[in-house]
Amino acid sequence: MQAMKRQTIQAAGRNAFQAQRRAYSSEIAQAMVEVSKNLGMGSSAIGLTGAGVGIGVVFAALINGVARNPALRGQLFSYAILGFAFVEAIALFDLMIALMAKFVSISEIS
């Protein structure tokens, strides 16, 4: 009888531990969370398109400036690299947010 009580208590403890570990109570809720994560990642990754366009604009302006005044090539190139770095930093921040939206859960933060 004691062994049976012990098994029942252990099974109840395991079920309670598994219920605490799962953040959501049903498969539908879990699927909705995954869909939301994918939508969040996709919508935040749209900003990477803007960064690509920005980098293209920076180097197009460099080519245009060097074509107009070849003597300023070195100075214009350093400005272009600085502009590239700023635009790329924004792109990396956007990528970080997109990946956090997909792979970081609320239970890991708190």
Per-residue confidence in pLDDT tens, the chain, 110 aa: 677 666 776 666 666 555 555 555 788 888 888 888 888 888 888 888 999 999 999 999 999 999 999 999 999 999 999 999 999 999 999 989 888 888 887 766 65
**Helix residue ranges per DSSP H, 22-46:** 27-44
Integer Cα distance of 17 and 65 in angstroms: 66
Q: How many helices (H) and strands (E) does the chain have?
A: 5, 0
Which residues touch 75 (CB under 8 Å, ≥6 apart)? none
User: Is domain 25-105 in CATH 1.20.20.10, yes or no?
Assistant: yes
**What is the per-residue pLDDT for 55?**
95
Q: Helix, strand, or coil here: 85?
A: helix
Closest CA to 61 of 47, 72, 50: 72
